[in-house]
Amino acid sequence: MALNEEAAVPAQEQEQTEEKTHTCREHDHLLAVIDELIALNKVLAARLAIVEAAQLKTKRAHTTTEQEQFQASSDPARKPKRRKKQATNLSATWYEWYTRVPRVWDSSDRQKKSEFRHIVAFMKLFLTEGFALDAKAEDYKDQVLDTGRRAEDAVLAFLKTRGTNAKGAGSVLRVLRPLHKSGVLDERIAAYKRLLAIGRIEDPAPVDSQDILAIAGHV
């Protein structure tokens, strides 16, 4: 009986040892599986981070492009600038008044006709010796060009003495109008009327356009 008990003790210990060994193997296997899952999760997390970063970069680029397009369409500073219309000088206005066909004084454009008529009228005041334009002469256009340039030079020289650098016909007209109203041009207007009265002026333009500037009352 004692021998049987003694023989049973090693067998039980062996079973326990085998059970522990089996348990350890399962534990080790489980740990290995867990480690593998952890590693896999890390890989997946890294890949997900890369994908999200790429998507975020793409989204930012798209947003930036949309903002730039919006700014380009809404910012007036980025819109193509309109080219300013080149100013017409005095002599060119004079030349067009006397040579254009049909004549400017026959134009249906009242604003242009009025503006040209006044510009030319002011220019005549600075031809202190008078002038002669023969519309039937072969060199009529040369006469017009030469007379217009002389008048232009005299007007600009006068304005320069008054500290004004206006050169375009429209700008000069805006400067001369208040001078006319203030009486600064009265002596020139009176002198022009005398030249007209004694025949020192031969003007092919209509009579009603030749003497349109009145003395302001200071002469």
Q: d(Cα 105, Cα 61) in Å, to the nearest integer?
A: 62
Mean pLDDT across the chain: 82
Closest CA to 159 of 174, 146, 147, 172: 172
Q: pTM score, two decimals?
A: 0.62
Which tens digit of pLDDT belongs to each residue from 147-174?
999 999 999 999 999 999 999 999 999 9
Delimit the domains of the chain by residue range: 22-55, 90-209
For residue 86, the model assigns a pLDDT of: 75
Q: d(Cα 167, Cα 89) in Å, to the nearest integer?
A: 6
Beta-strand runs (E) in 23-171: 131-132
CB atoms within 10 A of CB 194: 11
For residue 2, the model assigns a pLDDT of: 47
Output the six-digit token pair for 5.
Answer: 């008990």
For residue 54, the model assigns a pLDDT of: 67
* Whether pLDDT at 127 is above 50: yes
CB distance 219 to 187 below 8 Å:
yes
* Whether pLDDT at 39 is above 80: no
Output the six-digit token pair for 33.
Answer: 């599986």
Which tens digit of pLDDT belongs to each residue from 189-206?
999 999 999 999 999 999
